[in-house]
Amino acid sequence: MGDQLSLELATLRALNPQSDLIMLAEVPVEAGYVKHHKQKIALIFSAMRHFAEELREAGWQVVYFAYGQHPHQSLLDALSTTCQQHTIDEVVITQCGEYRLQHEIDSRWCDALNLPLTCLQDDRFICPLDWFRDWADGRKQLRMEYFYREMRRRTGLLMDGDQPAGGKWNYDASNRSAYDAKTPIPEPLNFDRDAIDQEVLTLVAKQFSDHPGSVTRFLWGTRRAQAQAALGQFIQHRLVNFGDYQDAMVSGEDTLFHSLLSPYLNIGLLDPLQVCQAAERAYLDGRAPLNAVEGFIRQIIGWREYVRGIYWLHMPDYAALNKLGNQRDLPPYYWNGKTNMHCMAECFRNTFDNAYAHHIQRLMVTGNFALLAGIEPEQICDWYLAVYADAFDWVELPNTLGMVMHADGGYLGSKPYAASGKYIHKMSDYCQHCHYNVKTAEQEDSCPFNAMYWHFLYRHRQAFENNPRMAMVYKSFARMSEAKQDAILRRGEHLLENIACL
C-alpha cells in the first residue's frame, strides 16, 4: 500500500525476491474517495515510485501501475490483472491502515481473485494490537497517560531503571510557552527534485486540479534518505526548542520548531522507534532538554500508538458516533480559506500551502471552531483526512472524532477541548492582526470564539456541568449578570445562524 513503504514490512519478510512479485498501484479510488490535498497525493505517488526503484535495486520483481497509464479504478482491479498475467498461487498483504479498505480485503478479495489470501499483522508499530486490546479490556475510559507510561516501560525510552528520567513521566506543563519572537526559527529543508518528483507533480497538478491545495511549493521529501535528512535536521536544529514552543502559533511562520516527520512515519519512510531513539540520544548527549524530548517521544509512543489502538478496537462503530448530536454543515471557508477570523485564515493558509498545520492549529483553532459550531463529525473528519499529508484514517479519525469533536462522549478525552479566543490570544500573535476583538464577547466585532464558547457550554450544560474539570467554567458563567449572559448567548446564536459569513 502507499502507506507501507518500508523495507521492514511484514509482506517483504514473508516473501522471496527470487520467486515472488511485489505489486504497487496508483488508483483513482484511493486517490479520490475524499478530495485529498494535491501535495498529499504527490507525496504518496512519488514516494511509491521511489520505493519501487528501491525494491528493484534490492532484487525484487515489481509490478507497478502508474496513475493514468492503466484502466484500473481500484487496487483489486490492478491485483486481478496482475494475477491473470502471471502464475500466482497466493496473495500476501500486510494489514492496511483503514477499516474501509481492510473490510473490503477481508470480505471480497479472496473470492474475487479465487486465490488464497494471507493478511499479516502490521508490526511496524510499537504496540501490537492484541497487547492494546488486553490493556484496554475492562477499562471504561482509556487514558492515554496510563497507556503512555506502559509504553515507556516496554520500550525503555527515557527510563532510569523502573523510574522515568528526571523523576516525572510527563513534562507537558513545561511545554506551553508563547513564542518569544527572539529565538531563531530554522528554515525548512528544501529537497532537490528528480525526474520522478517532477513527473508526479505535473501529473497531480493536471489530474487533480479540483482538489484542495497547490503543488507549487512542495517541500516534502519523497525518498528514504530525504526522510532521514529531515529527522537529522529536526534533532540538530529544532528539538532543543520544540518543548517550550510546541503549542505556540505565529502569523506567517508555518513550521516553528516542529519536526514535520509525521508524514514520513505514516507512510513508512521512517521507523517510529528509531525516531524516538534518535531524540533520546540527543537528551542523553546533552543536546536537547528533557521537556522537549519527553514531549516529542510522548507524541509517538504515546498518542500515535494510542489512537491506532482505539481505532482498531472500536471500528466500524466508532466512526458513526455523534454523542453531542451535531448536524451543522462545514462552512465554506474550510475549503476556500476566506474568513475574517485571522487565526482561522492563517491555519487554512498553512494547510492549503503546505498540506500541514501543527497539532495546536488543528486542535485549538480549526478543530475548536468546529466543536463550538456543532459541525457534523463526519464532515470535519473527512476534511482533516483530505487536507493533511500525514492524515490516514487510523490516526485521523480518533483524533478528530474523539479529541476534537468529543463525539465519543468522553471515551478518549475526559473533557472537550473547547476554548474561547483567550487561549488563541495567549498562545499566538493572531489576535493582533484580526478583524475581531478578542477582549469582548457580546459586541458586533467580538471574537466569534468567545460567544460561541459560552453558547456551546450553555447548550450542552446537561452533558458537562457535572464534569469536575469543567465546574469552574460553569461557575464563571453563573457569576455573570443575567443581562450579560443573555447578550452573549444572543451573539452566539447570531454567529451560528450566520456561520458561513464570519
At 176 the pLDDT is 85
* Residue-wise pLDDT tens digits, 454-488: 999 999 998 898 888 898 899 999 999 999 999 99
All 3 cell numbers of residue 482?
443575567
Q: Are residues 469 and 442 in the same domain?
A: yes
Residues 360, 472, single domain; the answer is yes
- Residue 157: which CATH number? 1.25.40.80
User: Does residue 348 share a domain with residue 300?
Assistant: no
The CATH number for 380's domain is: 1.10.579.10
Q: Specify whether 489 is located in the same domain as 415.
A: yes
- pLDDT computed for residue 7 by the predictor: 95
Identify the CA nearest to 428 among candidates 260, 256, 272: 256
Question: What is the C-alpha to C-alpha distance for residues 229 and 96, in angstroms, rounded to an integer?
Answer: 27
Radius of gyration of the chain (CA): 23
Q: Tell whether 300 and 409 lie within a shared domain.
A: no
232 and 256, same structural domain?
yes
Are residues 255 and 139 both part of a single domain?
Answer: yes
Q: Considering the domain boundaries, does residue 356 fall inside one?
A: yes
Question: Which residues 6+ apart lie within 8 Å of 449 measured at CB?
Answer: 341, 368, 369, 372, 419, 420, 421, 424, 438
Q: Is residue 72 domain-resident?
A: yes
What's the pLDDT score for residue 436? Answer: 96
Is there a domain that residue 263 lies in? yes
In a domain, 472, yes or no: yes
* Residue 438 counted as domain residue: yes
CA quadruple 323, 324, 327, 331: dihedral, nearest 10: -120
Q: Does some domain include residue 75?
A: yes
- Going by pLDDT thresholds of 50, 70 and 90, the confidence category of residue 269 is very high
Hey, CA dihedral for 290, 295, 297, 298, is it positive or negative?
Answer: positive
Is residue 351 located within the same domain as residue 458?
yes
Residues 112 and 184 in one domain: no
Q: Where is the domain boundary, 314, 348, 374?
A: 314
If we measure between CA atoms, which residue out of 68, 70, 71, 79 comes closest to residue 24?
Answer: 79
pTM of the model: 0.95
Domain assignment present for residue 415? The answer is yes
Query: Residues 446, 384: one domain?
Result: yes
Range of the domain at 279: 129-188+222-314
Number of domains in the chain: 3
**Which residues have CB under 8 Å from 405's CB, separation 6+?**
324, 326, 367, 370, 371, 375, 377, 380, 381
Residue 201 within any structural domain of the chain? no
63, 89, 120 - which closes a domain: 120
Give residue-wise pLDDT tens across range 419-433: 999 999 999 999 999
Residues 469 and 486 in one domain: yes
The amino acid at residue 237 is H
Residue-wise pLDDT tens digits, 326-382 = 999 999 999 999 999 999 999 999 999 999 999 999 999 999 999 999 999 999 999
Supply the CATH number for residue 85's domain: 3.40.50.620
Residues 237, 366 within the same domain? no
